[in-house]
Amino acid sequence: MRILGIETSCDETSVALVENGKTILREKTHSQVMVHREFDGVVPEIASRQHLVYILPVLEEVISVEEMKGVDAIAVTQGPGLIGSLLVGLGVAKALAYSFGKPLIPVNHIEAHLYAPHLFADIEFPYVGLVASGGHTLLFLVRGFHDYEVLGSTIDDAVGEAFDKLAKVLYLGYPGGPVIDKLAQQGDPDAFTELGRRPQLLPDTGKDRYNFSYSGLKTAFTYRIQHLANLESKLPHICAAFQREAIDLLLRKSRNALEDHGISRLVISGGVSANSYLRQRVEAWQKEGIQTFMAPLAYCGDNAAMVAGRAYHDAQVGRYGDLRTDAYSRLGFVKKGKRAV
């Protein structure tokens, strides 16, 4: 089954053709990052207009009108995401579905992120799934593609958002994650002594055992760096200290979920799974018998291959949309509790 996937939820315009949820036949992603960099973050209206400009040229590079006949279904990100951006992808997907007489498969963006590592490995269930991106931080207990529970989530900012906000106050540009990651590699987290004690992030007990919180971390760092002399020379240490706190919290909560459920398989996805410190740490867990799965760097962030891949499994359970399918900006059906197919 060949599925054409379309992703326009945030600031990447992406189209991919994927066979049987596994083989990426063709793909193209146009990143808007250079346009948004000027504003230190994604400007929703500019994002949707950029999608409008690039979606058909990107589509054209992936597939010709003639080749559309060989496609079995059109998959598209339905939400969550920036509503104006989603509407561009959905509008194009629905027009393609209508004009070529193909079924439409609306895909949840979080489920698509969680699927990205499945494109590259055969992953058995159950596993603990962590989605860490610019908009979401969610921990799942996953028993099957359509059988999962949300164990916890952030109670304030998303982890990627915290990287982006710290980068903004340090004038490091957007997106913050990659630049903080790079600077941190030359820094020593313990050398940023001005931070004082390591901040106490959410405890591991009670209702917050699987939850995350990042606004306190951002405030602690912003407060400490405000009047710092020689800020420039301390940047690598600041970045290393921040990165350690932010990533260690992700790993601690994931570890809680693995231990409590007696599971030794962890899948991490979303933009923040590209973080080099995170990848090093979880790779070391393999020695302890914990299998860890992450997508290659190019598939940690938003891409259409994960949308088309995920859609293959949605098609298996008959989860199709129709010409009235709407978009949604918030989490949609991924809520606390069990996923209803």
Interface with ligand KG4, residue 79, by CB under 6 A: no
Residues that bind Zn ion (CB under 5 A): 133, 302
Rounded to an integer, what distance in angstroms lies between the CA atom of residue 17 and that of residue 4?
5
Rounded to an integer, what distance in angstroms lies between the CA atom of residue 126 and that of residue 319?
22
Q: Name residues contacting ligand KG4, limited to 129-158 (CB under 6 A).
A: 133-135
Q: State the nearest-atom distance from the C-beta of 21 to ligand KG4, in Å.
A: 20
Interface with ligand KG4, residue 111, by CB under 6 A: no
Residue with tokens 């990165």: 243
Interface with ligand KG4, residue 181, by CB under 6 A: yes
The binder of ligand KG4 chosen from 21, 89, 175, 189 (CB under 6 A): 175
Residue type, 227: H
Rounded to an integer, what distance in angstroms lies between the CA atom of residue 95 and that of residue 116?
26
Q: Is 106 or 135 the residue whose CB approaches ligand KG4 more closely?
A: 135
Q: State the nearest-atom distance from the C-beta of 12 to Zn ion, in Å.
A: 8
Q: Is 164 or 314 the residue whose CB approaches ligand KG4 more closely?
A: 164
From residue 4 to residue 43, the character string flagging contacts with ligand KG4 as x (rule: CB under 6 A) and all else as - is ------x---------------------------------
Q: State the nearest-atom distance from the C-beta of 118 to ligand KG4, in Å.
A: 16
Q: Name residues contacting ligand KG4, limited to 255-314 (CB under 6 A).
A: 270-272, 274-275, 301-302
Residue 234 token pair: 């301390």
- Asked if the bond preceding 117 is cis, omega within 30° of 0, the reply is no
Q: With CA atoms as reference, report the closest residue to 331 among 109, 136, 80.
A: 80
Question: What is the distance of C-alpha 26 from the center of its chain?
Answer: 21
Instruction: Output the CA torsion sign for 157, 160, 163, 166.
Output: negative
Beta bridge partner(s), residue 155: none
Interface with ligand KG4, residue 334, by CB under 6 A: no
Residue 141 token pair: 């207990």
Q: Which residues bind ligand KG4 (CB under 6 A)?
A: 10, 133-135, 160-161, 163-164, 175-178, 181, 270-272, 274-275, 301-302
